[in-house]
Amino acid sequence: MLSDEQIKKLEATANTIRQDIIAMLLEAKSGHSAGPLGMADVFTVLYHTDAVKNDPKNPDWEERDRIILSNGHICPVLYAAMARAGYFLVEELKTLRKFGARLQGHPHRLVLPGLETSSGPIGSGLSQAAGMAYALRMDGKKNHVICLMGDGEQDCGQIWEAVMWAGKNKLDNLTAIIDRNNIQIDGFTEDIMPLEPLREKYESFGWHVIDIDGNNIMEIYNAINKAKAVYEKPVCILAHTVPGKGVDFMEFKYEWHGKPPNGEEAKEALRQLRTLGGKISGE
Ligand SMILES: Cc1ncc(C[n+]2csc(CCOP(=O)(O)OP(=O)(O)O)c2C)c(N)n1
């Protein structure tokens, strides 16, 4: 359980992360806005609570849970959550997408400590995560593997190979979190390639499914803890989020999938986010 005070603090952290995301994208002049803003609450729980085992001062800690970002394009939220947790200096966020930087436009495992995989080509993360979960179980280890995916990403066929395989092998040390924000690169998911009934699809392959409000810290925290307690089934958390969360002209707009704000838009986005709490980016 989280106390009201802890929740308030975590909500402020999520809004700090959102402000970081806007500042990073403005500086980079390219990148993705909607997905990262929508997933700020999930990443706050992943890196700023005890629901997931990790240690920013010791990224290779043997007992850490493994966080796999399959939808690598939303990495601004990953980087901001990691920086605010202490993996590296917040200052470094300004280097997003610069030549030679550790914060590449899609995560590069070999240059940034704390990353478990490189990603960018969507569709492969769940296979990697399932393989890791299987290997950890073979070694008798207790680490949990958490794989983040997009909903549009579910259109990739390889995901369904991993879904079948994880279900068959009863990988109860594996949790998938799907960003169910209903948008993808060029439209709404149900127009491009209908996914529903998504819950039933995962269930039919032997998964336990939990639907949550993916912008509610308490629901995210409880769902991850519950997922870790489920026995003999992998778990899929369907995190219903608002793409572009916190910035009114970005919310629910698929046009903001892969576009950064310009100067004026960033100013207005930061003004709106500041009213929701959290620190001004860089503070
Ligand atoms: C293999 C591969 N094909 C195409 C792309 C281009 N691409 C990047 S994100 C994306 C759509 C993903 O949709 P979703 O996961 O819902 O992203 P969201 O809009 O929620 O950020 C596509 C097609 C890619 N990165 N990799």
Nearest CA to ligand 1 atom 18: 184
Q: What spacing in Å lies between the alpha carbon of 283 and ligand 1's midpoint?
A: 32
pLDDT at 279 over 90: no
| Distance of alpha carbon 239 from alpha carbon 223, whole angstroms | 10
Res 278: pLDDT: 76
Q: How many Cα atoms within 13 Å fall on the side-chain side of residue 48? A: 29
Q: Is the CB of 217 under 6 A from ligand 1?
A: no
Question: What's the 153 CA to ligand 1 centre distance in angstroms?
Answer: 6
Q: Give the number of the atom of ligand 1 that is nearest the alpha carbon of residue 32.
A: 21
Average pLDDT over residues 1-9: 96
pLDDT at 280: 57
Provide the percentage of residues in the chain whose pLDDT is more than 90. 97
Quick check: CB of 257 below 6 Å from ligand 1? yes
Rounded mean pLDDT of 69-82?
A: 98
pLDDT exceeds 70 at position 133:
yes
Q: How sure is the predictor about 250, in pLDDT bands with cuts at 50, 70 and 90?
A: very high
Give the start-to-end residue ranges of the domains of the chain.
Answer: 4-274
Residue 283 reports pLDDT greater than 60: no
Q: Which helix (H) or strand (E) element contains residue 149?
A: strand 145-150
What global pTM score does this model have? 0.98
In the reported structure, the alpha carbon of residue 179 is separated from the centroid of ligand 1 by a whole-number distance in angstroms of 12
Residue with the smallest CA separation from ligand 1 atom 23 is 185
Q: Is 120 in the pocket of ligand 1 (CB under 6 A)?
A: yes
Q: Does domain 4-274 have CATH number 3.40.50.970?
A: yes
Mean pLDDT of 106-115: 97
Average model confidence (pLDDT) across the chain: 97
143's CB contacts (< 8 A; 6+ apart) are 53, 63, 64, 65, 66, 136, 173
Arithmetic mean of pLDDT, 169-174? 98
Res. 281: pLDDT tops 60: no
**C-alpha span between 244 and 261 (Å, rounded):** 11
pLDDT of amino acid 172:
98
Q: What's the confidence (pLDDT) of residue 277?
A: 80
| Mean pLDDT, range 83-94, rounded to an integer | 98
- What's the rounded mean pLDDT across residues 177-201? 98
Report how far ligand 1's centroid is from the alpha carbon of 122 (Å). 6
Q: What percent of the chain has pLDDT over 70?
A: 99
Q: Alpha-carbon dihedral of residues 161, 165, 171, 176, nearest 10 degrees?
A: 10
pLDDT at 19: 97
Nearest to 177 by CA among 76, 42, 48: 42
Q: What is the pLDDT of residue 33?
A: 98
Residue pLDDT, tens place only, 23-33? 999 999 999 99
- Tens of pLDDT, residues 112-121: 999 999 999 9
Residue 154 to residue 202: CA distance in whole angstroms: 11
For ligand 1, say whether the CB of 74 is within 6 Å of any of its atoms. Answer: yes
Q: What band does 6 get if pLDDT is binned at 50, 70 and 90?
A: very high
Q: Is the pLDDT of residue 173 over 70?
A: yes
Q: How far is the CA of 154 from the centre of ligand 1 (A)?
A: 9
